[in-house]
Amino acid sequence: MTRTLGERLDEATQGLAAPLAVVDLDALDANAADLVDRAGGTPIRVASKSVRVRHVLDRVLALPGFAGVMGYSVREALWLVAQGVDDVLLGYPSVDTGALDALAADPVAARAVTLMVDDAAQVELAARAAEAHGTTLRLCIDVDASLKLRVGPLAAHLGVRRSPVHSAADAGGLAAVIARRAGVDVVGVMFYEAQVAGLPDSSAAVRAVKRLSIRDLAVRRAAVVDAVQSAVGHELSLVNSGGSGSVASSASDPVVTEVTAGSGLFVPTLFDAYRSFTPRPAAFFGLDVVRVPGPGFATVFGGGYIASGPATKSRQPRPVWPAGLALTSREGAGEVQTPLRLSSGADLRVGDRVWFRHAKAGEVMERFDEVHLVRGATIESTVPTYRGEHHTFG
């Protein structure tokens, strides 16, 4: 008889104290294979913020089709390089002058890490650090990949407010500024099309926006690359694009040299409505029932792991096992306790374990020192999270 997910996780973690985090390795491996298949031969850079477990990063990087990490902090990048990672692209700009100085002072890290910039002020901070140590720091220009529409006097910005660099002229202008500055070198450009990669295919309107965005970027990416290469006088070594929700469309552009994915490994609840791939949830956390306040209710210990972003219901964790449970609308997920409403037929008693999924991928790992890697109904290994290795990078 086939056991349910909850039964397998219960058996694997029997005797372990909750709250606790687990990753289903079978689902993780299947998700990794699916990403590689959708990338169609284009290398995949792993987004560390969507994992935050160094052992899992190493495990995925060892698989064919994956190459390099997209980090989110210069200090994180320095730490990863010290652990043996030889290619880290920062996904975000930094004004951490101490970390930039440490990067410039370390020849190995300076070769392995690429900084993200979209403003001359960020470039200047990197250049000063490089000049102080007689080295050259690698830079990548973050290009706003949002879709901008205008019909007469009406204008719309569809996507995130990320970078001031949008057009080929913008990118070429910043690249020219960098080319005149000693100590820094432009090696790539990045496009994160959040309105394609980060939105579920929940309506015809969303799907239309995605189609328009993909067409826009197919033209604009090539123009940006040409402008930047003309400004710096050499070919770019990387053109990064995409996210877990847009791997296939990004990889189909011949200009793109690599795509980024991270959430597609764990598949949090925000990815459940995507049509571009089959969601296989891989990351869970377990909480134990500590009281039954009345008929139709049970309360678990902990659970207030709210995801970043707009404070809506979609950012709350979701109980997935046993079936028939829901957060209460009045209290939601609490810092030290979370009441649950039980549907007809559901039954929970003191000491029972409830399994949840988080709304976003790596953020939940900030709440745990370790994560149990489960294969079937057995814990294959228990490994530290970033937090468990005494690191929090933002």
Q: 302 near 336, Cβ under 8 Å?
A: yes
DSSP designation for 330: T
Three-state secondary structure call for residue 115: strand
Per-residue tokens: 157: 């910005």
DSSP designation for 394: -
Three-state secondary structure call for residue 299: strand
Dist CA 268 CA 95 (whole Å): 30
Q: What kind of fold does domain 26-266 have according to CATH?
A: TIM Barrel (3.20.20)
What DSSP letter does each residue of 118-165 carry, written as one string? SSHHHHHHHHHHHHHHT--EEEEEEE---EEEEETTEEEEES----S-
CATH (one of 2.40.37.20, 3.40.50.720, 1.10.1740.10, 1.20.1440.130) for 5-21+278-389: 2.40.37.20
Element (H, E) at 253: none
Domain ranges for the chain: 5-21+278-389, 26-266
pLDDT of residue 207: 66
Q: Nearest Cα to 286, choosing from 5, 9, 25, 3?
A: 9
Mean per-residue pLDDT pooled into runs of 10, the chain (394 residues): 87 97 97 96 98 98 98 98 98 98 98 98 98 98 82 65 91 98 97 67 64 80 96 97 88 95 95 81 98 96 93 92 94 95 91 97 96 97 98 91
What DSSP letter does each residue of 42-104 carry, written as one string? --EEEEGGGT--HHHHHHHHTSTTEEEEEES-HHHHHHHHHTT---EEESS----HHHHHHHH
Dist CA 105 CA 132 (whole Å): 8
Dist CA 185 CA 114 (whole Å): 10
Q: 295 near 384, Cβ under 8 Å?
A: no
pLDDT of residue 7: 95
DSSP designation for 245: T
Other beta carbons within 10 angstroms of residue 204's beta carbon come to 8
Paired strand residues for 70: 47, 89
What DSSP letter does each residue of 348-388 carry, written as one string? --TT-EEEEE-SSTGGGGGG-SEEEEEETTEEEEEEE-TGG
pLDDT of residue 160: 72
pLDDT of residue 201: 59
How far is CA 70 from each of CA 88, 92, 111, rounded to the nearest angstrom?
6, 9, 15
How far is CA 286 from each of CA 200, 289, 292, 361, 391, rounded to the nearest angstrom?
26, 10, 17, 16, 23
Element (H, E) at 392: none
How far is CA 361 from each of CA 21, 145, 163, 281, 325, rounded to the nearest angstrom?
12, 22, 23, 10, 21
